[in-house]
Structures are given as C-alpha cells and as structure tokens.
Amino acid sequence: MEGVDHLAHERNKSEFDVDAMKIVWAGSPHAFDVSDRISKLVASDPGFRKDNRSTLSRKELFKNTLRKAAYAWKTIVDLRLSEEEAAKLRFYVDEPAFTDLHWGMFIPAIKGQGTEEQQQKWLPLAYKMQIIGCYAQTELGHGSNVQGLETTATFDSQTDEFIIHSPTLTSSKWWPGGLGKVATHAIAYARLIVGGREHGVHGFIVQLRSLEDHSPLLGITVGDIGMKFGNGAYNTMDNGVLQFDHVLDVYSIAFASIAVMLWVSQVTCEGKYKQSDVPRQLVYGTMVYVRQTIVADASCALSRAVCIATRYSAVRRQFGSQNGGPETQVIDYKTQQSRLFPLLASAYAFRFIGEWLKWLYADVTQRLQANDFSTLPEAHACTAGLKSLTTTATADGIEECRKLCGGHGYLCSSGLPELFAVYVPACTYEGDNTVLLLQVARFLMKTVSQLGSRLSSKKPVGTIAYMTRVEHLMQCRCGVQRGFAELSADLVEAAVAHCQLIVVSKFIEKLQQEIPGKGVKQQLEVLCNIYALFLLHKHQGDFLSTGCITPKHAALANDELRSLYSQVRPNAIALVDAFNYTDHYLGSILGCYDGNVYPKLYEAAWKDPLNESVVPDGYHLYIRPLLKQEIRTARL
C-alpha cells in the first residue's frame, strides 16, 4: 500500500544515529545540506524526469538530453545557484551529457594548465556557457599511448598562426565526449612543431563550430561515433569524431600563447619555443585531476547499486516458511550476506579514500604552484592506481548487485542494467585500468630500488599484513633478473595490492578522527574490518605466502567475517539510508525507500509501449498466417 513503509521493521533495528551517518557520508553538515536540498529539488521537478529513457530512440534521447541540460542551466541561473550547488544539480540530474566534459575537463584544463592570459580570455566565456568545450585527446589510433598521438600543430612564423592538421585516418580525434554534436571549442592535443622541430604533445584551444549557426568551421569535419553499449545509457552523450584539414588556429601570434594551452611552455612572438623547466608530464595534469574525481564517483555508483540490492534483499522472501509463516528474507541467507556486505563496506571505503585523494590532489596542486614537484610521482601513482582499483571493483560490484536481485534485477525498472551500462566505461576512460596499474608498478619498482625493501613504515599497525604482502609481491618480482615487460602481469598484481593497502590504511586513519553520533564509529569499524578481512580472505594465498599469517589466522579471519556480517545485518538498511538518495536519483523500483516493490513492478510493466495494444503490431502480418497455415507436412 502507498504511504506505508514496508521497511520500517528493518529501520527500527538500527543501532546507530542514521542522521549522524548521513553527515559522515556527505563529508560535512554543509555538504549534507547542499546534497539534500539539491537532490530533492531535482526529484520534485518533472523537467528532470528520467524513467522513460529506455523507450526513446537515439535522436529522441539526445534531444531530450539537450533539453534537460538547457533546463538545468536555466534552473541554475534563475535560482542563482553557487558553483557547488550547480555541480550537485548536474550530479542528481544523472544523465551523461556534454556538460560533464565542459565542466569536468574543459574548464579544469584551462584552470590547471592555462596561463593567466588564457584563463582571463577563456574562463569567463566558459563559465557563462557562451562557449561549450570538450577534451579532444584520444584518436582513432591512439588513446593509452598519448605520446603516440599523430595530430600536428605547426607554427607558421610567416602568419604567426598554428596549423592544426590530421595527417592520417588514425589521427582523427575519436571518443571525446560532447564533441560529436555540441562542443563549439576543444582542447585538442597535438604534436607541436616549431621551425621544423617537434616538441611533443601539447594542448591547443581550437574553435570547432560557428557561434552563429553552429556549423563546423573551415577545415573541420566533425560528427558522432555512433551507438554505444546498452540502450539509453551513455547514448545521451555525443562522443565524437573530428578531423582537422590544415585548420588555422585563428589566434595570431599576439594570442599565440592563447592557443598553446600551457603554462609549462610558450611559443614566443619571434616564433621560438620556450620550454620551462617543469616536468613535461604536467601536460597530463587534467587527467590526474579527473582520475581523483572518478574515485569519488565510484563510491557514488557502488553505493547506489548496494542501496538497491540491500533494500530489495530485505523485501524479497524465498523459501524457509515454517508452518505457513512468512518465507525467509533473502538478506538473512549467509551467502547473500557474504556477497552483499563486502560491497557495502567497499562503498564506504571508497568514499573515504576519495576524500583523502581530493586532499592529496589539492596538496600537490599547491606544491606545483611553488614549483615543488616532489610529490608529483606519488600523486600520479595514487590517482592512477586508485582510479583503476575503485572502478574495477565498482563495475564488478554493480553487476553483483544485479545478480543479488535475481530476475527482477535484470529489469530496466530495477535501475541496475542502466547503472551498469553507464558506469562500466569508467574502467577504460581516463586511462585503461591495466595501463594505469602499470604506471603504479613502475612507481613501486623505482621506490623499492630507492628505499630498499621497505616501501613505507608510515602505515597503521592494522595494515602490517597488507604492507608485508606488497613487499613480498615486489621482492618476488624484482628479485628475478627479468625485464619489466616480462613481469608486467605479476607487477600489476603487486600494484593492486599496494592500492588495497592504501584504501585499508586510509579507512583506519578515518576511524582515528573524531566521529560524532551514537554508534556511528562502531558501525564504521565493523565496515572497515569487513573490507580488510574480505580482501585478506579473497587473497589469502598472497598473505599466507608472506608468512605473516598462518592458515589458522586465515581460518580465524573467516570466522570473524561471519561474525561481522551478523553485526551489520540489523543495521544494513540504515547504512544504505545514510546515503540519503531520493527514489528519483536511485531510479529503481527494487530500491524504493518504502520497499513497496511488487505493486510498483506490476504497475510499471503495463506502462511499457509494447502493452499499448493487446494484440501486438505484426500479429496479423506474421503470426496469424503462421497459426492458420495448412499442415502441409506429415504431423511430427
């Protein structure tokens, strides 16, 4: 029945202050207030409806996305929302769109790598959305290998201009979000050539389309690359293809530095290339920034899936009826708990590692401004490795949550198929996860060779086993005289172990902070222990081979896990309520707050366009003749 909370009995079991946990999850009382207010604003506005996406054609879907993006911008302007509130509004609108790249990459790239002059010219236009930008780095032939990019930017000292060109088919820009149909400008990455000499890959701000009629400028061929994985899903995004045919970057030398997107190098008025004495990898700065935001995004996506699966696991009953009594809630089965609760713990673990990574990024950015590059390698390794670890675990976790919901998890109305389809490219974009782990492995090799065996002694006591595991994995690999390439598969395993060590140690450090609210810290300690012991159980071969745990320890750890699951069980619904997601944002009948699942599932089915007619289109043309055919063959 509507209005009845079918999960009230579960909520009454909670042993901690849920409102206090909501603040912990949000990060602060202020952050909670903004999130709570904006999520409800979006949920209550029919202009942000999203339950019909799977029934729209690609063109209808895309036009609806443009409508929503414009409506969101109007809402932001009319309500005079702050930058923080506007970002939250775009988050809760929950639709991949060109705005993700405009706000999430184009503007950060200018802020992070543009000169003062460039920032003064481009940021006011971008903030007012008087230009719409995208980040055009990947090409048809190269994505991972940035140094392999083929697009050229040749400085013509006669005309004081840069000529941007796609010399080959494989140099076509391919994948940039927002590029296909909307962006008016791009930060395009190209090989800078000055005076016949090549100076490596640099970013250039290039106008793509007329600000008058949106037509592509002279020399620009641009379009969408076509349908992607899953219906609806990421097809609201116009990932594009772009070719330059000797495009003059219209900014004369007076603005040459406007075009060359870098505070780390310049082309002077005399047409001389000036490389400042900073690491060339600062060209990659935007990718580092986005990777740390992707870690925070992972905790959001995984927590959405876990919220759906946990609430439905409490609603769903199957088997176990005694004397005609109610069947057993599937959340009470130990197998369901052993699959679901480690994911619940991971959602919280990724939330806190995302908070730490945000601090690390801010710290390294501050140091860079003082020309202190000492922590840049660690920041690169951490953002690359944690992006890889958290997105792989989240993509796998969303799929596991679908399976935890049985057949109904496969319905679009569960919200899980679309969440999976939209999320999984996170394992690829912003750096293929294996390629990024190889960067971590390279960092570990260098660290081991510099520090000797001990990677770091600055870890909480509870992580000794994890640290010993990483050292053991590295020693086993570094000890043998074989090349990096030969050992790369093994070194990637050590890189994963290193990233898991970081997540566990930062969760433990979080618990050393003052955490207000009855029972809140105790619940987080249970989740931290579940995360650490689940991984120890999953990788016990590694831990046993280090000798720092024995088979008896491994068995005890497994016993402790079961006990921890029992401690979580009465608090499970409250722990997912703490995410404070509206039913609109969850977009899931299985995960609806009141748990009134079956009537809503049944009602939703009849809204499917296929049920607009009792007799389906095609019956008279195809099925009736089939049913009425003379039996010409002997009866089978």
Binding site for ligand LGGBLMCM (CB under 6 A): 100, 104, 135, 137-138, 143-147, 177, 281, 284, 287-288, 290, 376-377, 380, 429-431, 435, 439, 442, 446
Nearer of residues 299 and 439 to ligand FAD, judged by Cβ: 439
234 binds, among ligand FAD, ligand LGGBLMCM, none (CB under 5 to 8 A by kind): ligand FAD
Q: What phi and psi, each to the nearest 5 degrees, are found at residue 613?
A: -130, 145
Give the nearer residue to ligand LGGBLMCM in terms of CB position, either 133 or 143: 143
**Number of residues binding to ligand FAD, judged by CB under 6 A:** 20
Q: Which does 434 bind (CB under 5 to 8 A by kind): ligand FAD, ligand LGGBLMCM, none?
A: ligand FAD
Q: Where are the alpha helices (DSSP H) in 139-284?
A: 256-259
Q: Are 44 and 581 in contact (CB under 8 A)?
A: no
Q: What per-residue string of b and e applies to 617-631 under the rule 16 or more CB within 10 Å gives b?
A: eeeeeeeeeeeeeee
* Count of beta carbons in the 10 Å neighbourhood of residue 335: 9
Cα–Cα distance, 203 to 153 (Å, whole number) = 9
Among residues 20, 43, 87, 435, which is the contact residue for ligand FAD, using CB under 6 A? 435
User: Per CB under 6 A, does 101 bind ligand FAD?
Assistant: yes
Look up tokens 């930060």; give the residue. Answer: 187
557 binds, among ligand LGGBLMCM, ligand FAD, none (CB under 5 to 8 A by kind): none
- 342 contacts which partner out of ligand FAD, ligand LGGBLMCM, none, CB within 5 to 8 A by kind? none
The gap from C-alpha 385 to its chain's centroid, in whole angstroms, comes to 14
Among the listed residues 595, 588, 589, the one whose alpha carbon sits nearest the alpha carbon of residue 573:
595
CB of 387 or CB of 600, closer to ligand FAD: 387
Q: Which two tokens stand for residue 622?
A: 């195809």
Min dist CB 229 to ligand FAD, Å, is 8
Which position among 65, 99, 113, 138 is part of the footprint of ligand FAD (CB under 6 A)? 138
**Amino acid of residue 491:** L
Q: Is 515 in the site for ligand FAD (CB under 6 A)?
A: no
Q: Which of 425, 517, 587, 591 binds ligand FAD (CB under 6 A)?
A: 425
Of 523, 469, 541, 524, nearest in space to 500 by CA: 469
Which residue, 294 or 404, is less far from ligand LGGBLMCM as judged by CB? 294
Among ligand LGGBLMCM, ligand FAD, none, the one that 98 touches (CB under a kind-dependent 5 to 8 A) is: none
Chain centroid to CA 112: how far? Answer: 20
Question: Does residue 429 interact with ligand FAD by CB under 6 A?
Answer: yes
| Residue tagged active-site, from 150, 430, 493, 560 | 430
- Look up tokens 């941007």; give the residue: 164
Q: How many CA atoms lie within 13 A of 557 on its CB side?
A: 21
Please give the residues from 175 up to 214 whose contact with ligand FAD meets the rule CB under 6 A. 175-177
d(CA 154, CA 434): 33
Q: Which residue in the set 119, 252, 434, 567 belongs to the binding site for ligand FAD (CB under 6 A)? A: 434
Distances (CA, A) of 567 to 21, 306, 312, 314, 337: 17, 17, 19, 16, 11
Give the three-class secondary structure for 80.
Answer: coil
Residue 378 is among the residues annotated as catalytic for this protein: no
If contact means CB under 5 to 8 A according to the sort of partner, which of ligand LGGBLMCM, ligand FAD, none does residue 376 touch? ligand LGGBLMCM
Least distance from ligand FAD to the Cβ atom of residue 226, Å: 12
Exposed / middle / buried, residue 213 (Cβ in 10 Å: 0-12, 13-18, 19+): exposed
For the CB of residue 336, give the shortest distance to ligand LGGBLMCM in the complex, in Å: 32
Please, are residues 455 and 494 in contact by the beta-carbon 8 Å criterion? no
The torsion angles phi and psi of 207, rounded to 5 degrees, stand at -80, 135
| Bridge partners, 247 (sequence order) | 164
* 170 touches ligand FAD (CB under 6 A): no
Binding at 97: pick from ligand FAD, ligand LGGBLMCM, none (beta carbon under 5-8 Å per type): none
Decide: 405 and 312 in contact? Cβ < 8 Å.
Answer: yes
Which of 232, 431, 517, 595 lies at the binding interface for ligand FAD (CB under 6 A)? 431
Residue 138, annotated as binding a ligand = yes
When asked if residue 56 is in the footprint of ligand FAD (CB under 6 A), the reply is no
Pick the closest to residue 290 from 405, 414, 170, 426 (CA basis): 426
Work out whether 342 is an interface residue with ligand FAD (CB under 6 A): no
Residues 400 and 348: beta-carbon distance below 8 Å: no
Q: Which is nearer to ligand LGGBLMCM, 242 or 331 (CB)?
A: 242
> Annotated binding residue at 328?
no
Nearer to ligand LGGBLMCM, 441 or 535 (CB): 441
Task: Please name the residue ranges forming H helices in 244-375.
Answer: 256-259, 285-315, 334-369
Q: How many CA atoms lie within 13 A of 59 on its CB side?
A: 0
C-alpha distance across the termini of the chain, in Å = 51
Q: Which of ligand LGGBLMCM, ligand FAD, none has residue 442 at its interface (CB below 5 to 8 Å by kind)? A: ligand LGGBLMCM
Would you say 39 or 207 has its CB closer to ligand FAD?
207
Count each helix (H run) and each strand (E run) in the chain, helices first: 23, 11
Q: How far is the CB of 76 from ligand LGGBLMCM (least distance, A)?
A: 18
Q: What is the DSSP letter of 439?
A: H
Partner whose binding site includes residue 73, from ligand LGGBLMCM, ligand FAD, none (CB under 5 to 8 Å by kind): none
**Shortest separation between residue 556's beta carbon and ligand LGGBLMCM, angstroms:** 39
Two tokens, residue 388: 């890889």
> Which one of ligand LGGBLMCM, ligand FAD, none interacts with residue 288, CB within 5 to 8 A by kind?
ligand LGGBLMCM
Q: Residues 225, 175: contact at Cβ < 8 Å?
A: yes
Min separation Cβ 65 and ligand FAD, Å: 15
Using CB under 6 A as the binding rule, whether residue 135 contacts ligand FAD is answered as yes
The answer to whether residue 437 forms part of the interface with ligand FAD (CB under 6 A) is no
Considering the rule CB under 6 A, would residue 122 count as an interface residue with ligand FAD? Answer: no
Phi, psi of 453 (to 5 degrees): -75, -35
387 alpha carbon, distance to own chain's centre: 8
Position 106: which residue type? F
Stretch that binds ligand FAD, among 422-430, 500-508, 554-562, 627-635 (CB under 6 A): 422-430
Alpha-carbon gap, residue 301 to 96, rounded angstroms: 13
Quick one: which H or E segment has residue 266? strand 265-267
Q: Closest CB to ligand FAD among 20 and 129?
A: 129
Binding site listing for FAD: 138, 177
Q: Which residues are catalytic?
A: 430
Annotated binding site: 138, 177
Binding site for ligand FAD (CB under 6 A): 101, 135-138, 143-144, 175-177, 234, 239, 425, 428-429, 431-432, 434-435, 438
